[in-house]
Chains A and B, each alone.
Chain A
Amino acid sequence: MKSSGKFGAFGGIYVPEPLMPNLEELEEAFLRLSVDKEFLCEFERLLAVWAGRPTPLYHAKNLSDAWGAKIFLKREDLLHGGAHKTNNAIGQALLAKAMGKTRIIAETGAGQHGVAAAMVGALLGIRTEVYMGEVDMERQKPNVFRMKLLGATVHPVKSGGRTLKDAINEALRDWISNLHNTHYMLGTAAGPHPFPTLVKFFQKVIGEEARRQCLEQNSSLPDYVVACIGGGSNAIGIFAGFLEDKNVGLIGVEPAGKGLETNEHGAVLEKGTPGCLHGMKSMLLQDADGQVHETYSIAAGLDYPSVGPEHAFLKSEGRADYASATDKQALEAFSELSRLEGIMPALESAHALAYAKQLASGKGKGKTILVNLSGRGDKDLEQVMAYV
C-alpha cells in the first residue's frame, strides 16, 4: 500500500491477508483516477445531470423563528435517491468500472446506500447485490422494494443483531470469496484504508457546495455545522468544506436511542473505547473481552457500533465535537420540520436537527447553524406513524 491510511491513532488496514491485493488495487485506482480529468469530469457530469447537484441550501425561516437561531439546511434529501449516499455510489461505481469489475456488492442499514448502489448499478450496467440485516429489511421496507425494482438482489442477513454491522460482515465475506470480479462499494467513511479516504473524497462535494452557498446567501460562514453520525459519511462530507475554517464549530450527532444511561443506543464516540472492527481502528462499543455490542437506534442508518476513523481523530484533536440525540428527540424534530417547513427528514437526519434545536436554545442562540439534511423521510413513514 502507498499509505497506511492512518488518522492519528485511528484508521489503518486490518483485514485478512486474502483481501490485501484488492485493497492495493483499489488504492492504486483511486490515487490514479482522483486526479484524472476525464474521470472527474464524468463524476461531476453524473452528479449534475443524473443526480441533480448542486443541492440547494435552504434558509429555514419558520424553524429559525421557532428555535431562536438562523438555521440553514443543506438539502441532500433532494439528491436523486433521497440521500447523500448517491454521491459516493456514483464515484465508487465509476472506480469499479475503471477497474474492470463486473459485480458490485454493498451493505446497507437504512437502505439508502443500497438504493444508491442499485440505481448506479442499473445506470452503468453493473450487477448489484446488497446485504441488509433482517431487522433493517423489516423497518425500511420501502427501500427494499426500491432496490428490487431497480434490479438489485437483496440478501437478508440473519447473523448477529441482523443490522448494519452484520451486513458489513457478510459483504466482507462475499468480497473475500469473489475477489476477481467484485467491487465492494462500502457506503460509509469507515472500513479499511482506502475506504475512509475515498468515501470522503466523493462526499466532500456537500461541504464545498455548502460553504460556497453560505457565502453567497448569508455573506458569512456558519457558526456551527451539524450532521448526524452513523458511520459518518454525510458528516465527513459536509465537515470537509469547513475543516480549515477554525471558527466554524463542527458537531456530529450520534444516536442516543432510548437514552445514554441504558444499553440501547449507538453513541460510539461518547460511550465507546478504542478498538478494531471492519478493517479499521476506531472507537467501538464493546465489552472488556473485546466482543462488540449490539447497538440500538430508531434510525437504521445510525445503528452501528463503530464510527469512521476520521471522526475518532477529529474528536481526539478537539477539531470536532460529538453530541447525541434520543429516539424521542429525533421524532420530535421530524415532526417539527414536517409541520413548520413542509419537509420530512430521514430519521437519521432528524438526529442532527434535534441537536440543532438544543444548540439554538443554548450557546447557539442567535447564531447561524448549518444542518446537513442528509436524507428524506419517505422510507420512515411506517415507523414514524407507529409513534404518532
Chain B
Amino acid sequence: MSNRYEKRFKDLKAKGEKAYIPFTILGYPNRELCLQTVKCMIDSGAAALELGIAFSDPVADGPVIQKAACETIASGFTVEDAWELVRDIRKIDNQIPIGLLVYYNMVLAPGIETFYANAAACGVDGVLIADLPPESADEIALACGKHNVAPIFIVSPLTNSERLDLILRYAKGFLYAVSRLGITGVEERYDTKLAELISEVGKRTDLPLCVGFGISTPEQAKAMLKLGAHGVITGSKIVDLVQGSLGNGGSSLDKTLGAYLTSMVKAVKEQIDQ
C-alpha cells in the first residue's frame, strides 16, 4: 500500500524539486491560530506537514518547543482535540502528507493499536516517535502496517552502518536526519559527518532523507540540500514566529509567518535551479 509520502516525493522528484516541511505543535497557541498557522504552511507551498502532539516531558526538544508544549497542555488542549484538529487540516488539503511527532508515552496511553487507528482515521500518513529507537520498533511495526501509517525514524551523524541497517529494516515514508547533535532549535552547527551520513543512506535506500534540528534560515536549507538531502524541516523557528505574533493577538501571523515560509520554499526551489 502506498501512502501520500510516496506519491508526494515521487512527484517532487519528477519535477526535480525538493521538500520543505514545516513543523508546529497541534493546538499552539490555540485551536484557531494553529489552524491558521497550518493553512499558512499549505498556502506557502509546504511539501508536507510535521505536527507535534504536546507532551509534558519532551526530552528531545529545546526550550522554544518545550515552552509551547507546556502552554498547550496547560490550556486544556487534549489529545482528542489534537485528533479533531488533524481531521480539519486533512479537510483543507487531501493530498499533503501529514506526519506526527510524538513521544512514546502518548502512543502507549490509549494503546498502540488504538493510537494508530486514530491516526489513520484522521488522515495521518506517518508517525515519528521521538523516543522509540529501532531496538524497540517491533512494538509498533504491526499497527503501522495494519493502518498504513509510515513509521518515521531518526538518523544522526553518529548512526553507524550497523544501526542504519537496523533503522532501514523498519523505516518508511522518509528518514528524519538530525543535522547535528543536540536538541531541537538550539545550535546552528553542522557536523561534517552529516555529508557522510547522507551519502551512506543514499547508497542503501530509496527512502527520501529530510534534515531537521537547527535549520532555520534559507541559507542553511540550501546547504543541506547541497549535501544531497531531499528536504528540510524547520520547527523551533516557526513556533518562535507564532509566539512573536501573539502580542497583537495573532493579527500579524499571516504576514510574518507567510513571508518566512515563502522564503524557505523559495530557497528549496532555487537550489534546484542551480
Contacts and interface: CB of A to CB of B under 8 A. Distances in A.
Interface of A: 1, 4, 12-18, 20-21, 159-160, 165, 169, 172-173, 176-177, 179, 274-279, 281, 284, 286, 288-292
A160 B58 CA distance: 11
Interface of B: 55-60, 62, 66, 70, 73, 78-79, 103-110, 130-133, 135-136, 153-156, 158-160, 163, 167, 178, 181-183, 186-187
B181 A179 contact: yes
Contacts of B57: 160, 165, 169, 277-278, 292
Contacts of A159: 66, 70
A121 B130 CA distance: 32
B131 A279 contact: yes
A18 B213 CA distance: 12
Query: Which of A15, A20, A289 has the most CB atoms of chain B within a 10 A radius of its CB?
Result: A289
17 contacts: A1-B135, A15-B59, A17-B155, A17-B156, A17-B163, A18-B154, A18-B158, A20-B133, A20-B159, A21-B158, A159-B70, A275-B108, A281-B108, A290-B79, A291-B73, A292-B56, A292-B105
A291 B82 CA distance: 14
Contact of A276 (B56, B104, B178): B104
A377 B217 CA distance: 53
A12 B186 CA distance: 28
A291 B105 CA distance: 8
A15 B183 contact: no
Nearest to A291: B56
A14 B106 contact: no
B169 to A, nearest CB: 14
Contacts of A286: 105, 109
Contacts of A179: 158, 181
A16 to B, nearest CB: 4
Given A13-B135, A173-B62, A177-B182, A291 B108 contact: no
Query: Which of A14, A15, A159 has the most CB atoms of chain B within a 10 A radius of its CB?
Result: A14
Nearest to A284: B105
A278 B59 CA distance: 8
Contacts of A275: 105, 108-109
Given A14-B136, A289-B78, A289-B106, A177 B186 contact: yes
Nearest to A24: B163
Contacts of B106: 289-290
B156 to A, nearest CB: 4
B60 A176 contact: yes
Contacts of B58: 169
Contacts of A276: 103-105, 108, 131
